[in-house]
Structure 1
Amino acid sequence: MSAHCQVTGRAPGFGNRVAHSQRRTRRRWNPNIQLKTYYLPSEGRRVRLRVSAKGIKVIDRDGIEAVVARLRRDGVKI
């Protein structure tokens, strides 16, 4: 579960690496996961989240309070 975003749920994508000779081998595309610390003013504490770059944009757009409320509603322990 290390390459999963807590906000968007993005996970690695899988596919084939195709060489010039058309030889195919399996590969994976990892999301851009960052460990970010956010301050929750309502609780007076900080929370650490594993978020993708897209998840950071979602937090900037919706606000950390709304995102944490959504995560708790979905059953994620914060």
Structure 2
Amino acid sequence: MARRCELTGKGPMVGNNVSHAKNRTRRRFLPNLQVVSLISDTLGQTFKLRISNAALRSVDHRGGLDSFLAKAKETELSADALKIKKNIEKAQVPA
């Protein structure tokens, strides 16, 4: 399973451990990923997504999953999140 946020695309970063003697060894900074169930208001369904805590705060700030996905760039979203976004857009189109 990839260590990548499904909504923001945030992934591991690389850097150095620096000791007191200034010795540098390579390390990875992993994103804080959580498995969360998010509810779509228009579809009336819950979706389990593996997202970072920063993304969860952004979803809450924007007012829910539907409004977050409406403003999200499609290049950052995972395949599952893209499917959810397309289904929400279909459901919101007036018939």
After TM superposition, the score normalised by the length of structure 1 is 0.79
What RMSD in Å do the two structures reach over aligned CA positions?
2.0
Partner of 1:38: 38
- After superposition, what is the alpha-carbon deviation per residue over 1:5-59, rounded to whole angstroms, capped at 9, x for unaligned? 1222211110111122322211011111111001112112111111111101110
- Which ranges in structure 1 are unaligned for 5 or more consecutive residues? none
Shift of 1:70: 4.5
Q: Which runs of 5+ in 2 are unaligned?
A: 85-95
Distance 1:48 1:68 in 2: 15
TM-score by length of 2: 0.67
| Count of residue pairs the alignment pairs up | 77
User: How far apart are the structure 1 equivalents of 2:31 and 2:38?
Assistant: 20
Task: List, as ranges, runs of 4+ consecutive aligned residues in structure 1 with deviation greater than 6 Å.
Answer: none
